[in-house]
Chains A and B, each alone.
Chain A
Amino acid sequence: MIKDNLVVSNKKFNSRLIVGTGKYKNMSECAKAIKLSGANIVTVAVRRVNILNKNKPLLMDYIDPKKITYLPNTAGCFTSEDALRTLRLAREIGGWKLVKLEVLGDKKNLFPDMIETLKSTEVLSKEGFRVMVYCNDDPLMAKRLENVGASAIMPLAAPIGSGLGILNKTNLMIIRNQTKLPLIIDAGLGQASDATIAMELGCDGVLVNTAIAKAKKPFDMALAFKNAVIAGRQSYLSGRIEKTLMGVPSSPTEGII
């Protein structure tokens, strides 16, 4: 197969699977799952340093940011102001420009506040950030995000952490057809086959956290997602057959005895 990389903002990545680093039992479990997933990009959160317990293990001691691309997120931010503050701090930690913007609007369903998200995307792009944007699956909003400089469109499949899988294939296909930007499904996947479906719809990648971290066997699930993304991508590139309502025989109808 021809080299088929995920390209975000002119940067090439071998794997089309992006994984989150939250919700694992401990750092070593997280690091091993990431290795098995084959992911080149991991999302990370920005939080206060624990100044009372200095012996708490640090993420960077387990996952080397020189080998794996850290994608700082704005998880837990409900306003544009908080999201901008968080990502400016993230950039200061080590020069990160590639970021995941996520501005939530509701504490229960965790849907994105698209008005605040759109505002933040515009400001961050102007400041030189490469913004991968968590968004709803509305094609019009996706277009607006693109117009203000988003580097990747990352619609949800279903609410964050819900495991419901892809609920609106039609919208995702419409977004796929209208944009050349990387389209990455972010949030809501529950099992490996969900990732395959996303890739078969023509998405450029998937972002998974809970489905791996909270699986009964996270290491096996990490591997399953890796394979599912590869399978889905190959299937998409192979060009599926037309759907027909009636049966079409697989064996020749001529020469039947």
Chain B
Amino acid sequence: MIKIKKIKIKINGKNKTIDNQSTLHELINDLKIPIKKIAIEYNREIVDKKKIKKIKLKNNDVIEIVHFIGGG
């Protein structure tokens, strides 16, 4: 059996362990976040949502996912 290597990332300020070589797209899908209603920052850079399938996550990556909430 091939053992899948794990990596640690930080998402919205929380640590998370995921499979190595996962894409940003897979992560968002796993979290069941509606892609149309969010914006993503990957290591402080805003990501084009059309390109998230191509982004492979690495150890110590920092991801921010934001949406709109009530505010004045």
Chain A residues at the B interface, C-beta cutoff of 8 Å: 20-24, 27, 30, 43-49, 51-52, 54, 58-60, 70, 72-73, 75, 85, 88-94, 160-161, 187, 207, 209-210
Contacts and interface: CB of A to CB of B under 8 A. Distances in A.
Given A48-B64, A48-B65, A90-B39, A21 B13 contact: no
Contact of B39 (A52, A60, A93): A93
Q: How large is the interface on B (under 10, 10 to 19, 20 to 34, 35 or more residues)?
A: 20 to 34
Given A92-B39, A93-B66, A44 B12 contact: no
Given A22-B72, A54-B32, A210-B72, A47 B49 contact: no
Contacts of B12: 48-49, 51
Interface of B: 11-14, 31-34, 36-41, 46-47, 49, 64-72
A188 to B, nearest CB: 11
Contact of B46 (A24, A72, A92): A92
Contacts, number: 101
B37 A47 contact: no
A21 B37 contact: no
Contact of B38 (A44, A72, A93): A93
Nearest to B16: A51
B39 A43 contact: no
A47 B69 contact: yes
Contacts of B66: 46-49, 89, 93
B69 A51 contact: no
Contacts of B72: 20-23, 43, 45, 73, 75, 160-161, 187, 207, 209-210
B31 to A, nearest CB: 6
Contacts of A94: 36-37
A58 B67 contact: yes
Given A51-B12, A51-B14, A60-B37, A27 B67 contact: no
A60 B68 contact: yes
A27 B70 contact: yes
A85 B67 CA distance: 13
Nearest to B48: A92
Given A88-B46, A89-B46, A49 B71 contact: no
Contacts of A88: 46
Given A88-B46, A89-B39, A92-B49, A51 B33 contact: yes
Given A49-B12, A51-B11, A72 B68 contact: yes
Contacts of A23: 70, 72
Contacts of B11: 51
A30 B66 CA distance: 21
A51 B31 CA distance: 7
Contacts of A43: 71-72
A27 B69 CA distance: 10
A24 B11 CA distance: 28
B9 to A, nearest CB: 12
23 contacts: A20-B70, A20-B71, A23-B72, A24-B70, A43-B71, A46-B39, A46-B66, A46-B69, A48-B65, A49-B66, A51-B14, A54-B32, A54-B33, A58-B67, A60-B37, A60-B67, A60-B68, A72-B68, A92-B47, A93-B67, A94-B36, A207-B72, A210-B72
